A and B are shown apart, each in its own frame.
Chain A
Amino acid sequence: MLQNRRRFIRDSSLGVLTFYLAGCEVEMTAEQAHRAGVTRQVFNEAEAEALGALAEVLLPGSIDLGLVEYVDQQLGAPLDQQMLMIKYLGVNPPFAPFYQGGLAALDQAATAAHGDRFAQLDSAQQTALVAAVAQGQVENWSGPPAPFFYFVLRNDAVDVTYGTKAGIEGLGIPYMAHIEPPSPWGQ
Chain B
Amino acid sequence: MAKEKVDVVIVGSGAAGSNIAARLAAGGKAVKILEAGPDRTNDHLVSSGLWARRLKWSGAPVLEEGANPVGHVFNAGQGTGGSAMHHYAVWPRFHPQDFRCRSEHDRGLDWPISYEDLAPFYDLVQTESGIAGDAEREVWRPPGEPYPLPPVPLFPQGQILERGFDARGMKTAPLPLAVTSVAYQGRDPCIWDGWCDSGCPIGALANPVTVDLPKAFAAGAVLETDATVTRILTDAVGERATGVEVVNSAGERREVLADIVVLAAFSIQNPRLLLASATAQHPRGLANSSGRVGQYIMTHSAGLIYGLFKEPTQSFMGAFGGQLVNQDGYEKTTHSDSGAFGSYQWMIAQAVKPNDLLGIGPTRADLFGNDLHSFMKRAARGFATMTAVVEDLPVADNKVVLSDDQRDANGVPLARVTHTTDPQSKSLWDATLVEGQAIFKAAGADEVWTGPQGAMHIMGGTIMGADPATSVTNSYGQCHDLPNLVIAGPGLFPTSAGVNPTYTVHALAARSADHLLDNWGSAVV
A-B pairs with beta carbons under 8 Å apart, 26 shown = A59-B368, A60-B370, A80-B37, A80-B54, A81-B54, A82-B58, A84-B53, A85-B357, A87-B56, A87-B73, A88-B74, A88-B357, A90-B64, A130-B368, A154-B368, A158-B361, A163-B356, A164-B50, A167-B355, A173-B353, A176-B194, A178-B200, A180-B46, A181-B50, A182-B46, A184-B48
Highest count of chain B CB atoms <10 Å: which of A59, A151, A164? A59
> Could you tell me the distance between the alpha carbons of A130 and B35 in the complex, rounded to whole angstroms?
44
Chain B residue contacts of A90, Cβ below 8 A: 64, 69, 71, 73
Highest count of chain B CB atoms <10 Å: which of A57, A60, A90, A178? A178
B46 and A155 within 8 A (CB): no
Q: How many A-B Cβ pairs are below 8 Å? A: 143
Asked if B372 is at the interface (CB within 8 A of a chain A CB), the reply is yes
Cβ-closest chain A residue relative to B69: A90
Chain B residue contacts of A57, Cβ below 8 A: 368-369
Q: Which residues of A in the span 123-147 have a Cβ within 8 Å of any Cβ on B?
A: 127, 130, 134
B362 and A158 within 8 A (CB): yes
> Could you tell me the distance between the alpha carbons of A173 and B78 in the complex, rounded to whole angstroms?
30
10 tightest Cβ-Cβ pairs between the two chains A and B: A177-B47, A163-B355, A171-B380, A158-B361, A88-B74, A181-B48, A162-B354, A176-B193, A88-B73, A80-B58
Chain B residue contacts of A158, Cβ below 8 A: 354-355, 359, 361-362, 372
Contact of B50 among A60, A163, A173, A177 (CB under 8 A): A163
B61 and A127 within 8 A (CB): no
B61 and A85 within 8 A (CB): no
Chain A residue contacts of B195, Cβ below 8 A: 176-178
**A interface footprint on B336-370 (CB within 8 Å = 1, 0 otherwise):** 00000000000000000111110101100110111
Give the B interface residue count (CB, 8 A). 51
Asked if B376 is at the interface (CB within 8 A of a chain A CB), the reply is yes
B48 and A80 within 8 A (CB): no
Q: Which residues of B in the span 40-78 have a Cβ within 8 Å of any Cβ on A?
A: 43-51, 53-54, 56-58, 61, 63-64, 69, 71, 73-74, 78
Q: Which residues of A in the span 91-125 have a Cβ within 8 Å of any Cβ on B?
A: 92-93
Q: A87-B53, A179-B46 are in contact. Are A155 and B191 (CB under 8 A)?
A: no
Q: 14 more A-B contacts (CB under 8 A) besides A58-B372, A92-B63, A184-B48?
A: A9-B43, A9-B46, A14-B46, A82-B58, A83-B53, A85-B356, A85-B357, A87-B56, A87-B58, A134-B365, A134-B366, A159-B355, A163-B355, A176-B47
Closest Cβ of chain B to A80, distance in Å, is 4
B370 and A181 within 8 A (CB): no
Chain B residue contacts of A58, Cβ below 8 A: 368-369, 372
Asked if B316 is at the interface (CB within 8 A of a chain A CB), the reply is yes
Contact of A172 among B57, B63, B381 (CB under 8 A): B381
Q: Label chain B's interface by main secondary structure.
A: loop
Chain B residue contacts of A82, Cβ below 8 A: 53-54, 58
A167 and B365 within 8 A (CB): no
Asked if B27 is at the interface (CB within 8 A of a chain A CB), the reply is no
> Could you tell me the distance between the alpha carbons of A2 and B42 in the complex, rounded to whole angstroms?
11
Asked if A174 is at the interface (CB within 8 A of a chain B CB), the reply is yes
Contact of B361 among A84, A87, A162, A164 (CB under 8 A): A162
A155 and B71 within 8 A (CB): no
> Could you tell me the distance between the alpha carbons of A130 and B366 in the complex, rounded to whole angstroms?
11
B48 and A163 within 8 A (CB): yes
Give the A interface residue count (CB, 8 A). 49
Chain B residue contacts of A164, Cβ below 8 A: 50
Asked if B377 is at the interface (CB within 8 A of a chain A CB), the reply is yes
A171 and B69 within 8 A (CB): no
Chain A residue contacts of B139, Cβ below 8 A: none
Asked if B202 is at the interface (CB within 8 A of a chain A CB), the reply is yes
Chain A residue contacts of B58, Cβ below 8 A: 79-80, 82, 87
Closest Cβ of chain A to B382, distance in Å, is 12
Chain B residue contacts of A173, Cβ below 8 A: 316, 353-354, 380
**A interface footprint on B198-218 (CB within 8 Å = 1, 0 otherwise):** 001110000000000000000
Closest Cβ of chain A to B371, distance in Å, is 10
Highest count of chain A CB atoms <10 Å: which of B57, B73, B78, B370? B73
Chain B residue contacts of A87, Cβ below 8 A: 53, 56, 58, 73
Q: A14-B46, A177-B195, A179-B47 are in contact. Are A171 and B369 (CB under 8 A)?
A: no
Asked if A21 is at the interface (CB within 8 A of a chain B CB), the reply is no
Asked if B102 is at the interface (CB within 8 A of a chain A CB), the reply is no
Asked if A168 is at the interface (CB within 8 A of a chain B CB), the reply is yes
Asked if B373 is at the interface (CB within 8 A of a chain A CB), the reply is yes
Chain B residue contacts of A93, Cβ below 8 A: 61
Closest Cβ of chain B to A28, distance in Å, is 16
Chain B residue contacts of A168, Cβ below 8 A: 353-354
Asked if B283 is at the interface (CB within 8 A of a chain A CB), the reply is no
Asked if B291 is at the interface (CB within 8 A of a chain A CB), the reply is no
Closest Cβ of chain B to A50, distance in Å, is 16
Chain B residue contacts of A172, Cβ below 8 A: 380-381
Cβ-closest chain A residue relative to B354: A162
Cβ-closest chain B residue relative to A92: B61
> Could you tell me the distance between the alpha carbons of A150 and B50 in the complex, rounded to whole angstroms?
19
Chain B residue contacts of A171, Cβ below 8 A: 354, 376-377, 380
B369 and A60 within 8 A (CB): yes
B373 and A59 within 8 A (CB): yes
Asked if B38 is at the interface (CB within 8 A of a chain A CB), the reply is yes
Closest Cβ of chain B to A173, distance in Å, is 5
